[in-house]
Amino acid sequence: MHCFPQSSSSISCSWTFPDSHWDSYTVEVRQQDSWELVYALRLARDSTLLSLENLQPYRRYNVAVRVASAGLSSPAVEENVVTMIDRE
């Protein structure tokens, strides 16, 4: 998985398909300073790209992606990313 800032309030993440059978992905995004949950999403099986908006400028976020199947989920693949500084 790879995440990068798109602006002072948005990030983008992408990943490759896992080598096993799965039904969907679960995604949790937390602000690292407070560990506050910002997003909790379930994505379709064919998703490999995620854009997140309405984030705070120059903050570090932790993005955790898990595959889910038959009520079970995998260990998370995690990436940390910092939004850009707001220059306005």
pLDDT over 70, % of the chain = 99
Bridge-based pairing of strands 24-31 and 36-44 is antiparallel
Which pLDDT band holds residue 86 (cuts at 50, 70, 90)? confident
Whether residue 5 is predicted with pLDDT greater than 90 in this model: the reply is: yes
Structural domains of the chain in order of their starting residue, each with its CATH number: 2-82 (2.60.40.10)
pTM of the predicted structure, to 2 decimals: 0.91
Which pLDDT band holds residue 88 (cuts at 50, 70, 90)? low
Q: Which residue has the tokens 């997003």?
A: 39
Q: Reduced to 3 states, what is the DSSP secondary structure of residue 47?
A: coil
Per-residue pLDDT of 32-71, as tens digits, reads 999 999 999 999 989 999 999 999 999 999 999 999 988 8
